[in-house]
Structure 1
Amino acid sequence: MTQKCTSPIIEGLPPQNSPTAILVDVRTGNHPDEGYDRVVFDFRDNTSTPGFSVSYVDQIIEDPSGNPLPMLPGAKLLVSMRWAAAHENGNTTVPPGDLDLRPGLARIKQVKRAGDFEGVLTFGIAVDPAGDPAPFRAYALSGSRLVIDVAHVGQSPWYCGEVFFGDQQKIVNNIDPPVTAVERRLIKPAVAGAALQELFKGPNEAERERGLVFVDSHATGFADLRVSQWKVAHVRLLGPISSDGSSVITIATEIIPTLKQFPTVDWVKIYDEDGKTGQPDGPVDSIPEQLEP
């Protein structure tokens, strides 16, 4: 079974950034109290933050040569940043030592540039050990930094959860349930709220290519999420929600399993913007009238 929180992360890959994001610094750090090693890619403040993908691969390949990149032993994380560069006007924009860092941390052994060509900037990260890829997360921070955290052995710095999106193939073929789960790293301790935030972000580029969609039923957001001592999750949807007459899928079809994955939730009650739902009392799932077929 694949270890949780090792699936690829893809965020904000635009067709083109303007201007190109210029890398100025690469640094690493050990965070034992939080339970992870960290790599930070710093970009110049007056340029845009690039879209990025981070995934485990069998081998890091140099771009544009196509040759294997010599690296220290370890599992290999490929970091690909689109419409980004570590050079400008023919000159490298980061200190030379940043192109091949060897910090010798508990997990991160090496961070090495693999390519800087035609707006695609790539780095390889060697993660110890080679045979057991460590859980990781990646995200943009403060608008000009890309952060990658790799969990220490035996640590769970974030919650490895799921979000359920509509699956167009299942919807067309009337397969129940018409949703498919995808992995998400959820910030503790408010993991239920983090899961709904990820739901409203929608599927990433690779998930959209698989036919996954966010069926929003015209909801513009959510509010007042709480979980009672009786394991009932309550959430209010914002906006002029409507099922559009669908008897197959609405936003409720996605929200209910997304919240029920947590051991503190057995039932889900969804309210409209005015705080109304079909069955407000008792241990039973409930949706507002607008989401009925």
Structure 2
Amino acid sequence: MLPIRPLIAGAALAAAVTVPLALPAQATQLARIPVLTGIRAAHQPGLDRLVFEFRGGVPRRAQARYTGAIVDQATGRTVSAVGDALLRIRFERAGAGTVQARTTYPLPGVIQVVGTTPYHSTLTYGVGLARQAPFRVYQLTRPSRVVVDITTPYRTVPVRGYFLDTARYDAGRQPYTTAVRRPVIAPSTAYGALQRLFAGPTQAEKAQGLRFVSSKATGFSKLTVKRGVARVYLTGRLTGAGSTFTIADEIMPTLKQFPSVKWVKIYDARGHTQQPYGPSDSVPRSLEP
């Protein structure tokens, strides 16, 4: 049986890392607020590098710490991010440009970066990670950047996740899914593949017409694999909305890529599925067309 872990886990809290970033000479200039112009991430040997680029200098201060939840200060609502650890990054005295509010990355550690509503010249971002690991924060200039290096001291293996291909679906060409590759931490490869599925496609994959159909599922609370049967317990108010394509059409091929999985049974938040017993696939009634 695979380890059972929540989709969004509260990592053990770590001491905050606060880095004053503004250069002394900047204090004598006319007050201006640096504006965030882009976020990017890439894997380097032994680490994932997350870069926040600004126009007009760097923010006065950057703070990063592991936390159990990201709260939007403007609305008071919790903002979700896919991952087993959640790193909060906050910039003081900074403005937001046209930056995507939620971005998925196909990296060993960084799964997803989500933003909150700017609040009193403060920007807050949540970084969903595959695992809590040491990190460091520093600045670079020309252009102005705040860099977060997150170590990846673990072994990953490539798996596939299956998303709706809108071009194939619109043309009526089956299968309606297209596979993408993701690195996941061994040995919990089925869990990792399902977690990456819920993170959705990257920006480049979206540009190619790939979409994650959630059917209003918000995540999964449990995944077990025993005697060839994978059982997935979804959260949220599931509905197929009369569609011939639902989240089940993404989950089943994603899990059946593993030799240990022959059948997939999907349960709703109340623990119901139509065929809970025997060697067969099964979905809850709410996902039927």
Name the structure 2 match of 1:258.
254
Name the structure 1 match of 2:63.
none
Name the structure 2 match of 1:182.
180
Q: Aligned AA for 1:206?
A: A
Counterpart of 1:240 (choices 222, 233, 237) is 237
The CA deviation string for residues 179-200 of structure 1, in whole angstroms up to 9 with x for no partner, is: 1110100112222111111111
CA-based RMSD: 3.6
The CA deviation string for residues 31-73 of structure 1, in whole angstroms up to 9 with x for no partner, is: xxxxxxxxxxxxxxxxx9x7324389xxxxxxxxxxxxxxxxx
The CA deviation string for residues 1-31 of structure 1, in whole angstroms up to 9 with x for no partner, is: xxxxxxxxxxxxxxxxxxxx969xxxxxxxx
Name the structure 2 match of 1:277.
273
The whole-number CA distance in structure 2 between the counterparts of 1:197 and 1:51 is 22
> Identity of counterpart residues, as a percentage?
40
Structure 1 segment 1-293 matched on structure 2, within 5 A: 51-54=39-42, 81-83=51-53, 137=108, 139=110, 144=137, 145-147=148-150, 157-228=155-226, 230-247=227-244, 249-293=245-289
1:88–1:178 Cα change, 3 Å: closer
Q: Does the 8 A contact of 2:160 with 2:182 survive in 1?
A: yes
* Per-residue deviation, 1:264: 1.1
Q: Does the 8 A contact of 1:54 with 1:138 survive in 2?
A: no
Give the TM-score taking structure 2 as reference length: 0.53
The whole-number CA distance in structure 1 between the counterparts of 2:196 and 2:253 is 14
The whole-number CA distance in structure 2 between the counterparts of 1:277 and 1:88 is 52
Q: Aligned AA for 2:232?
A: V
The whole-number CA distance in structure 2 between the counterparts of 1:239 and 1:55 is 33
1:241–1:265 Cα change, 3 Å: same
* Per-residue deviation, 1:256: 0.3
Greater Cα radius of gyration, structure 1 or 2? 1
1:207–1:282 Cα change, 3 Å: same
Q: Aligned AA for 1:245?
A: G
Name the structure 2 match of 1:15.
none
The whole-number CA distance in structure 2 between the counterparts of 1:143 and 1:215 is 35
The CA deviation string for residues 85-137 of structure 1, in whole angstroms up to 9 with x for no partner, is: 9x869xxxxxxxxxxxxxxxxxxxxxxxxxxxxx9xxxxxxxxxxxxxxxx84
1:143–1:231 Cα change, 3 Å: farther
* Per-residue deviation, 1:159: 1.6
Give the TM-score taking structure 1 as reference length: 0.52
The whole-number CA distance in structure 1 between the counterparts of 2:266 and 2:109 is 31
Give the number of equivalent residue pairs.
Answer: 177
The CA deviation string for residues 152-174 of structure 1, in whole angstroms up to 9 with x for no partner, is: xxxx9212101111111111111
The CA deviation string for residues 205-247 of structure 1, in whole angstroms up to 9 with x for no partner, is: 111111111100011111121001x110001111110111012
The whole-number CA distance in structure 2 between the counterparts of 1:219 and 1:275 is 13
* Per-residue deviation, 1:149: 5.7
